[in-house]
Amino acid sequence: MTTHGFTLTADGPFDFGASLRFVEDWPATSALPSDGRALRFAYCAESDWLPVGVTVTSAPGGVAVATTRAPGPALRGEVARILSLDVDGGGFAKLGEADPVLGDLQRRSPGLRPVCFWSPWEAACWAVIVQRSSMLIASKIKQRIAERFGAEVAVDGRAYAAFPPPITLVDAGGLGLPAQKEEWLRGLARAALDGVLTTEHLRGLPPEQALAELRALPGVGPFSAGLILIRGAGAPDAFPGDEPRLFAILREAYGLPEDAPPSAYRKLAETWRPYRSWASFLFRASTYGVLDDRD
* Integer Cα distance of 167 and 3 in angstroms: 27
pLDDT tens sequence for the chain (295 residues): 678 999 999 999 999 999 998 988 877 777 788 788 999 999 999 989 999 999 999 999 999 999 999 999 999 999 999 999 999 999 998 999 999 999 999 998 889 999 999 999 999 999 999 998 888 899 999 999 999 999 999 999 999 999 999 999 999 989 999 999 999 999 999 999 999 999 999 999 999 999 999 999 999 998 899 999 999 999 999 997 778 889 999 999 999 999 999 999 999 999 999 999 999 999 988 874 333 333 4
30 φ, ψ (degrees, to nearest 5): -65, -20
CA 97 to CA 75: how far, in whole Å? Answer: 35
What is the pTM for the complete model shown?
A: 0.92
**Which residues on adjacent β-strands are paired with residue 6?**
65
Residue 151: other Cβ atoms inside 10 A: 19
State the Cα–Cα distance between residues 51 and 66, nearest whole angstrom.
14
